[in-house]
Amino acid sequence: MVKASSKLYAVIGDPIAHSLSPLMQNWMIGQFGLNAVYVAFHIRKPQLEACLQAVRTLEIGGLNVTVPHKEAVLPFVDTKSVDVELLQAANTIKNCNGQLQAHVTDPFGFTESLGDNRDRCNGASVVLFGAGGAARSVCYALSRLKIARLVIGDVVADKARELQSLAINRLNMPDVSLFSPADPNFSDLISDAGIIINTTAVGMHPDTDRAVMSDFSCISKHHFVYDVIYNPQTTRLLQQAKKHGATVQNGLDMLIYQGLESLRIFSGEHLTLSPAQLSELHKIMNRELGIYE
């Protein structure tokens, strides 16, 4: 029940109507018995400074930030976590008595989402599709998971080189190189990798017939293929990888765990989801997406 004393949390983005965050966060707020409510605001870039000032004025307790504002909000906060300083992006802002503290929970969300597959990362060779904001967070997580080699590919070569520089110079990753799907050695690159990760929007609803790869014959049962997309539940990349025997995973748990970490930051409480709660949340979110298990 919403009360006059209830904390207000929100997510901002452009667009924002598609966001699952209010559904997810209000469900978790109810499960944890928090005195709070979570809403979404459609904020365009020219409105960002006024939006952050309104967070102070209205005493909004916390803000999640989604595309395209994760970098653009930084000039309007008061403090930044070490991770935010490193990645130069934030997706979580806590209001502490008018002081806005910027955090990033995406790397945590990715790491936690791996579950038992986390052990696959130690010493692994990883092929990473994409070099945007999601790729930076995944790259940061991989640097802490002790992978041996990272190979990055993006349609924008400059972005790929920027991520390579970040990985080498700031994340201290020992072996980072670039690739192009047009490279004649591309199939060998995939075959030799243990993990393949897609951080791009290729294959996302409604363009579900697309994939970052066209030849899947180089994927086998020794691969782990992760797609940050969760709508559709099984992208073409994951469908084809599964046909070739690979272990596959979509990005729904990454979304859930980064949201859970944000709620911990907002509330200051150590909140955990039981396996039964996680399963129920999967069903609720997939139902919202039109996916019925």
My answer on whether 36 and 126 are in the same domain is no
Distance CA 199, CA 282 (A): 21
DSSP 8-class letter at 117: G
Query: CA–CA distance from 250 to each of 57, 84, 138, 226, 247 (Å)?
Result: 39, 25, 14, 6, 11
Paired with 226 in beta bridges are 197, 249
- Positions marked catalytic: 70
Segments forming the whole domain that contains residue 130: 108-250
Determine the average pLDDT of the residues in 3-25.
93
My answer on whether 35 and 147 are in the same domain is no
My answer on whether 124 and 245 are in the same domain is yes
Residue 247 CA from chain centroid, whole number: 20
With pLDDT > 70 as the criterion, what percentage of the chain qualifies?
99
- Who's near 235: CB < 8 A, 6+ residues apart? 198, 203, 204, 208, 211, 227, 229, 250
State phi, psi for 14 to the nearest 5 degrees: -150, 95
Two structure tokens written together for 202: 């290729």
In a domain, 1, yes or no: no
My answer on whether 193 and 216 are in the same domain is yes
Q: Count up the domains in the chain and report the number.
A: 2
| Burial class, 214, CB count within 10 angstroms (exposed 0-12 / middle 13-18 / buried 19+) | exposed
My answer on whether 94 and 206 are in the same domain is no
pLDDT in tens, 96-129: 999 999 999 999 999 999 999 999 999 999 999 9
The neighbour count for residue 266, using CB atoms within 10 Å, is 26
Distance CA 123, CA 38 (A): 40
Two structure tokens written together for 130: 């994409």
pLDDT in tens, 135-145: 999 999 999 99
pTM: 0.93
Q: Residue 133: pLDDT above 80?
A: yes
Distance CA 121, CA 195 (A): 8
Distance CA 109, CA 53 (A): 28
pLDDT in tens, 193-248: 999 999 998 998 888 999 999 999 999 999 999 999 988 899 999 999 999 999 99
The mean of the pLDDT values for the chain is 94
